[in-house]
Amino acid sequence: MDLLLSSFDILARWDVLIALVVGSVGGVIIGAIPGVGAAVAIAILLPATFSLDPIVGLTALLGIYGSSMYGGAIPAVLVNTPGTAVNALTTYDGYPMTQRGEGRRALSLAYSASFFGGVFAVVCLIFLSPVLAAIAPHFGSREIFLASLLGIILVVLAHRGQILIAGALACFGIWLNTIGLEPIQYSKRYTFGQSWLSGGVDLIVVVLGLFAISQAIVLLVDKNRAPRTGTLSGDLFQGFKELLRHKRVASVSASFGVLMGMIPGVGEFTAQFMSYTAARRGSKTPELFGNGAPEGLIASEASNNAVPAAAMIPLLALGIPGEALTAMMLSVFYVHNVVPGPQLFQNQMDFVIALYIALLVLNVMVVIFLLFSTNLLLKIIQIPTRFLGIIILTLSFVGVYSLRNSTIDCAIAAGFGVFGFILKRLNLPIVPIILGMVLGGIMEAKLRTSMMRVKTPFDMIDRPIAFILFLLILVVLGSHAWRMWKDRNSTENQ
């Protein structure tokens, strides 16, 4: 009880509440605008929160992280354009419903399913906390190294059809992270005699380049588009009643979201795919899936909205991000002197619970905001894409330049902007670079620490959790090799 009171005490400040409102409402708006997305917004706003208190900055960015997918459903349902990438599956059933004249019903279902997914995941997070608090201290250097290695392997293997290039980009991220002064022996690595490279390449500069500047260039180079939407009349509450009729689909989908969210490198897409498949299998009308099935819409939205809270589990308990947004959130924590990992659960449990409560409150705030302001958001969706590109490019400057007022940082970010633009043009993944940078740094530090305490490589896995993680790595690699072999055989037989 004391813990809970202490957590409420952390949150019960006017600046935290404002941050929560700004973050959650801002996240919905950003999510609703196709071509922006939470990654761009967090990258741009991260440096702007440096001067704020940790809990204020964190709740604002957490608000954007947790609420953008709510907004992303609006253009997905009404104009067949997902607001964020993870709302793509929502278009399958949401847009056909709109075409049938059921746009209001589809949107209402999307809101209620998103709300259910978000709250379900936070509740899971709260109930898992004691378990995490008990397990997390057993994660020493070697376990965190192995978990990071597993994370990076999963991130690469998750890019089916692009595994080789995803591997190359993850290694590029690992290499990027090593540029500059090496922390133990203080020797320079890959600086090519340039003093401006001695400090290394800042993760935030890379993130801003790869996500924000590249997206601005995409929007500026592409043809101008301005989605046209009508207005919605009537209340949007009916979806909550309808969701009760599909509670099994919602619960199963949210559970997939939680499970997949917890595994580094897996994330929303796999959760949605599994939920959608399960919902179709269990449906009495599977033929409707892809043509406007309410269960399909619920599966997509409940699962994708359960992921952000669940992805906080490895991030908070172990300090291991599972995807790009959690990697950015890790930077957010570091910037605000909060170091996620086993120590956080032991020493600052009230802070952790305050974050959970913030996540819960933001879900309530977002759904209230959406129920009353959807028509306003429909106007925002209509902003022309090139105009958005101008705004994102202007905002990118604040993000990069405010870090340390460095023109060189801006030039590096611009370079990564072009690199990211080319990757986006070629449909190649960006996320492995970011995770390579973050997890590469963690792996280097943890391997070095753990190798000081082991005599033979086998000592690395002589503790139960380390052994389980090692087995998981073998299982993941083995199952991938088996799948490749099966694919090759089936191709040859054809």
Partner 1 sequence: MSAEPNKAKPGEMLFVGLLFVASAFLLSQIGEQAKFSAKGKLFAQPAFWPGVGVIGMVGFTGLHLLTHMRQRAKAGLGNEVVIWLRALEFVGWFMVYVVLVPRLGYLPSTVLFTFLLALRMGYRGPAMLGWAAASGVAIVVIFKTLLGVKIPGGALYEYLPDGLRNFMILNF
Query: Which of positions 49-78 make contact with partner 1 (CB under 8 A)?
Result: 50-51
Phi-psi region of 319 (alpha: psi -120 to 50; beta: other; left: phi over 0): left
Least distance from C-beta 293 to partner 1, angstroms? 25
Least distance from C-beta 340 to partner 1, angstroms? 22
Stretch that binds partner 1, among 33-41, 64-72, 105-113, 443-451 (CB under 8 A): 443-451
Stretch that binds partner 1, among 112-120, 122-130, 237-245, 409-417 (CB under 8 A): 409-417
- C-alpha to C-alpha distance for 105 and 112, rounded to whole angstroms: 11
- Nearest of 321, 323, 310, 293 to residue 255 by alpha carbon: 310
- C-alpha to C-alpha distance for 240 and 207, rounded to whole angstroms: 37
In the three-class reduction of DSSP (H, G, I as helix; E, B as strand; rest coil), residue 486 is classed as helix
- Tokens 């997949």 sit on residue: 260
- C-alpha to C-alpha distance for 255 and 49, rounded to whole angstroms: 33
- Tokens 């099935």 sit on residue: 293
Contact between 126 and 312 under an 8 Å Cβ cutoff? The reply is: no
Stretch that binds partner 1, among 10-18, 114-122, 298-306, 416-424 (CB under 8 A): 416-424
- Tokens 């099966």 sit on residue: 486
Stretch that binds partner 1, among 72-80, 218-226, 229-237, 292-300 (CB under 8 A): 218-226
Least distance from C-beta 112 to partner 1, angstroms? 33
x/- letters, 224..243, toward partner 1 (CB under 8 A):
x-------------------
Residues ≥6 apart with Cβ < 8 Å to 467: 461
Binding of partner 1 by 436 (CB under 8 A):
yes
x/- letters, 152..191, toward partner 1 (CB under 8 A):
--------xxxxxx-xx-xxxxxxxxx---x-xx-xxxxx
Among 421, 438, 442, 470, binds partner 1 (CB under 8 A): 421
Least distance from C-beta 156 to partner 1, angstroms? 9
Pick 269 or 351: Cβ nearer partner 1: 269
In the three-class reduction of DSSP (H, G, I as helix; E, B as strand; rest coil), residue 477 is classed as helix
Alpha-carbon separation of residue 168 from 180, 284, 434, 437, 482 (angstroms):
21, 44, 12, 13, 22
Pick 307 or 423: Cβ nearer partner 1: 423
| Stretch 264-303 residues interacting with partner 1 (CB under 8 A) | none
| Stretch 190-209 residues interacting with partner 1 (CB under 8 A) | 190-192
Residues ≥6 apart with Cβ < 8 Å to 48: 398, 399, 402
Phi, psi at residue 319, to the nearest 5°?
75, 25
Least distance from C-beta 313 to partner 1, angstroms? 27
Least distance from C-beta 423 to partner 1, angstroms? 8
- What are the start-end ranges of the E strands in 171-243? 180-181, 188-189
Total residues contacting partner 1 (rule CB under 8 A)? 77
Contact between 181 and 198 under an 8 Å Cβ cutoff? The reply is: yes
Least distance from C-beta 238 to partner 1, angstroms? 36
Alpha-carbon separation of residue 379 from 78, 106, 140, 291 (angstroms):
12, 19, 51, 27
Contact between 169 and 162 under an 8 Å Cβ cutoff? The reply is: no
Least distance from C-beta 250 to partner 1, angstroms? 30
| Stretch 344-403 residues interacting with partner 1 (CB under 8 A) | 384, 386-387, 389-391, 393-398, 401-402
Pick 211 or 421: Cβ nearer partner 1: 421
Least distance from C-beta 58 to partner 1, angstroms? 15
Binding of partner 1 by 410 (CB under 8 A):
yes
Contact between 214 and 418 under an 8 Å Cβ cutoff? The reply is: yes
Pick 216 or 316: Cβ nearer partner 1: 216
